[in-house]
Structure 1
């Protein structure tokens, strides 16, 4: 294996403006490097026996972490992943199972919604490593290497393929250390069409797998729905399942209004969760800290701003030179946020 495979992913930490390495247990990292970083490993992953194994261990993991006995594993889980417990809604001893701790809620003041009453500012839907691509083509060129990746295969919808063909893609990847409830990045109304459940596989969704020819995002178990907004048009949401963490519970239903930052659902161990993918019908928003997004993955907490509608930004720059666009975007959005 080449040296590139043994390096941990480099993450830009949005809160501190530092570059950090993502923590991955050594045994897991070694296994992933073999299975997805070598030709032999990828051949093994595609066998029916291995795919059946992933489904079985995912189901068993859910049973194990739903059992009362799993409460004894919470402390080790926190220590192993370095989880910050200061923002938890309840004291640690009130969580009866590891799964209950895993999808814990946070204190109301832990994640203030950026520009809460401003529909033109986007917020991160979850604690995640966020990848933002202005176009679907760029997402395929830089990050998603699956041979069958396109909007039609991702959403299972011809209409979505037409709506989002020239739009932007935001991929939010969660890790075990993260808060595992997800929220709406926009203000709007959940689409009237029934939630679409798709796929049958449970591949890992870590970078090493996404960046291979394996069709992870278009074959894994997943959920698709849309949110209608006044500012950004239609926004598509795809929740993609993964090995072990593959259970999703929705807090919102079809046709319901949703506020920016409001909870949509949560993930749990067991059997369709992990990355949260948002599709925008056109490249209608300007990314905060643009150069950082183009250079590397960004670690971002739920409710933090990551973009703003072009039209709103243009109004504030009407008298400014175009050369100031990139330099001013993060400062401008920050000031909008501070007003709220």
Structure 2
């Protein structure tokens, strides 16, 4: 088989994947899965999870429960105690979730990459001018959660959540194929912008922001400290002031399926050794060094 024919086959598979996951009625599919996943019937749950296993490497060995009353309960499962040790070093920012690391590194002025050759502007993602300036030439890391991963996310450091901005949007798939084809995809999708002040002392009063980005079949972000679920039906305030203290590793919320969290930190932060595109990371492992 020639290199050209092999590349042709790869591109054809990518075309099919893109069509199947993005050229369908995305909002309708998302609403349907949201309804179906919450059907509380043991037979439906077992059949759904068995089908899920056919298409994904679903590992439930570290789940707190071994049986689930619905597909939704499996999606949003909790872990056994001690399954994700949290790095206690106050000089590091830990990963808020299990993920595969996507584009990461230094913010180029006020631009970052969603994939090679596909930059986007901070103003289009974060909206808030103060945040755009806070992360000019700073650091960022894109963390992609696959469908079979643990879907809850946690505080990366001790601090205070000052504000949450909810931005309604589309539900494009956020897999690597779509990121290489849809310009400024993260800026198009539904998302929450979570501002956290790390506090004085070891935190150095730095402002760190998490941006959970929803996607097709997800479009639902649950935040415990607000006791709300942000999705296509959300009609609450877009700007929510919080002043909620959090400790490193405490649970902040979850996605309904799988998606992406982008972490932004000011200049002076740097990625930890081994953090590069394509590597896997678990919640609680060191992600960035503080200045």
Q: Which residue of 2 aligns with 1:57?
A: 29
- Asked if 1:80 is matched to 2:55, the reply is yes
Ranges of 4+ aligned residues in structure 1 off by more than 4 Å:
1-8, 33-36, 144-147
Q: Which residue of 1 aligns with 2:274?
A: 289
**CA distance in 1: counterparts of 2:166 and 2:114, whole angstroms:** 27
The worse-fitting range, judged by mean Cα deviation, of 225-234 and 174-183 is 225-234
Pairing partner for 2:222 from 242, 249, 253:
249
**CA distance in 2: counterparts of 1:176 and 1:274, whole angstroms:** 8
- Asked if 1:113 is matched to 2:82, the reply is no
Count how many residue pairs are aligned between Structure 1 and Structure 2: 265
C-alpha displacement at 1:200, in angstroms?
1.7
Q: Which residue of 2 aligns with 1:238?
A: 211
C-alpha displacement at 1:62, in angstroms?
0.6
Q: Which residue of 1 aligns with 2:45?
A: 71
C-alpha displacement at 1:122, in angstroms?
2.0
C-alpha displacement at 1:287, in angstroms?
1.9
- TM-score, normalization: structure 1? 0.70
Checking the alignment, whether the CA contact within 8 Å between 1:235 and 1:279 is kept in structure 2 is yes
Q: Which residue of 1 aligns with 2:149?
A: 178
Checking the alignment, whether the CA contact within 8 Å between 1:123 and 1:306 is kept in structure 2 is yes
C-alpha displacement at 1:256, in angstroms?
1.1
Checking the alignment, whether the CA contact within 8 Å between 1:134 and 1:283 is kept in structure 2 is no
Checking the alignment, whether the CA contact within 8 Å between 1:166 and 1:283 is kept in structure 2 is no
**CA distance in 2: counterparts of 1:167 and 1:144, whole angstroms:** 19
- TM-score, normalization: structure 2? 0.81
In structure 1, runs of 5+ residues without a counterpart are 9-25, 37-44, 311-340
C-alpha displacement at 1:133, in angstroms?
2.7
C-alpha displacement at 1:188, in angstroms?
0.8
Deviations 1:214-268 (A, max 9, x none): 2211110111121101326100111111011221110124211111111110111
Residues 66, 287 of structure 1: CA spacing in aligned structure 2 closer, same or farther, 3 A cutoff? same
**CA distance in 1: counterparts of 2:8 and 2:267, whole angstroms:** 35
In structure 2, runs of 5+ residues without a counterpart are 227-241
The structure with the largest helix share of the pair is: 1
Give the SS at the match of 2:279.
Answer: strand
Deviations 1:275-310 (A, max 9, x none): 0111102142342226xx1xx411111112233224
